[in-house]
Amino acid sequence: MPNSYDLIVLGSGPGGYVAAIRASQLGLKTAIVERENLGGICLNWGCIPTKAMLRSAEVFHNMKHASDYGLVAEKISADLDAIVKRSRGVAKQLNQGVTGLMKKNKIDVVMGDGKITAPGKITVKTEKGEEELSAKNIIIATGARARDLPFAKADGKRIWTYRHAMTPPETPTKLLVIGSGAIGIEFASFYNDIGVDVTVVEMLDRVVPVEDEEVSKFLEKSLKKQGMTIMTGAGVKSIEVGDKGVKAEIEDSKGKKASHDFSHVIVAVGIQPNIETIGLDELGVEPDERYHIKTDEYCRTNIEGIYAIGDCTAGPWLAHKASHEGVIAAETIAQSMGKDGHPHAMDVNNIPGCTYCHPQIASVGLTEAKAKEAGHDVKVGKFPFIGNGKAIALGETEGFIKTVFDAKTGELLGAHMIGAEVTELIQGYTIGKTLETTEAELMNTVFPHPTLSEMMHESVLDAYGRVLHM
């Protein structure tokens, strides 16, 4: 049958399209259903275009500090329209790349809104009408969207989600960012770097609250030094939208309420899964306590033949986690069909996290506090950027690298970094954790000189009283 498949993937984000590719490689007849753009939110409206914008901000920041490098740059300015145009061009290029990958791997693409009407059955509303598809297996990869505040519904004019912030109708003059997770702090960093007056309000007691406490404190100090206003332990109680701006009532950490004027607001208070309209309630697919789809370690739901991956499932909500789950699900399905699949369970402790603010943040595994809560007797090492020759040569001396080990076994429990290019460094520790390395292997590894990676070595050495350059 032409519309019958071994696997249909609902959603083509970094989880969905990777799952489809791996399934096709394993010999499964595969289709993918997408309602908007191939590549999903990450490629079109998230990870990639935001990094393009942040790169523009980074270059602008460096230009403003050209004299620090013996250079002269005069009358420089940021053109937000041009920055956005470049960002959209990057997203378009990668969207076309995913289209090419679908053709190369002989994956059928059906554009439209898909709904699972029964196990193994999907109805897709396309421009030409409804199309019925069937498959032995279905992977749900529908992702998530920005969560609204009840009193601050995004209108695209004065109150923005991340999508509005990427294609702004105008340049803000005074910006309020509600929430200091990765999305909020990245946009705060971008707009601050191009000259906008930025205030960040975080209801918890520190910014980027999922990170190690020392990293959070260091980042807050750095952002304030850059000119941002940071309010932690605070909450936005109400927002009144006017023709020329918004008035926000903010309660600070001491319980004092005050009214503040802003030109625009970015709401970055989390996500909610895109699962309401795809037929899950009728099928009996079980959600977790946060209304994300509940899965086992092989991405299986409680309904046979239905799998779920990415942001519509439990966190961490990261593109690379979704992609890896896509491979796991495809391998599991292939194995169940007698193909050469080799699935492996996901270990969330080995998933790195990256935040592309200025300075960057990267981490993997347990924080020092979480390690102690889990009952570990820990050894902790730390090494500052100011002690690294390459960092000094780059003019990037702000930051540190911190490692956490189990004192009894030497197991690497976690690593936490803040500073220039740490998002490129963290994978070294991620590989080490995946290989279950101990301090001995890391200390005996030869790190190249001069590189930022030498700080990783020194941090490990510091945990065991053997640091060389501090």
Which residues have a catalytic role annotated?
Answer: 449
Residue with tokens 């914008």: 53
Q: Compute the C-alpha angle 217/367/272, nearest 5°.
A: 85
Structure tokens at 380: 């902790």
Give CA–CA dist 367/133, Å, rounded. 46
Of 21, 22, 5, which Cα lies nearest the Cα of 335? 22
Count the alpha carbons within 13 Å of 113 in the hemisphere toward its beta carbon: 9
Q: Give the three-class secondary structure for 8.
A: strand
Q: Hey, what are 148's tokens?
A: 């609204």
Amino acid letter, residue 186: E
Q: Are strands 271-273 and 264-267 parallel, antiparallel or unpaired?
A: unpaired
Angstrom distance (rounded) from CA 10 to CA 457:
43
Separation CA 396–CA 61 (nearest Å): 12
In the numeric block, which tokens belong to residue 152? Answer: 């601050």
Joined together, the tokens standing for residue 367 give 């924080």
Could you tell me which residues are beta bridge partners of residue 300?
A: 307
Tokens 């994956």: give the residue.
107
Q: State the greatest distance between any 2 C-alpha atoms of the chain, in Å, as a whole number.
A: 69
| Residue tagged 């404190």 (tokens) | 217
Contact 338, 153 (CB under 8 A): no
3-state helix, strand, coil in the chain (%, to 5): 35, 25, 40
Q: What is the DSSP letter of 329?
A: H
Residues with Cβ < 8 Å from 50, sequence gap 6 or more?
Answer: 87, 162, 166, 186, 187, 190, 356
DSSP single-letter state for residue 213: H
Which residue in 166, 143, 150 sits closest to 266, CA to CA?
Answer: 166
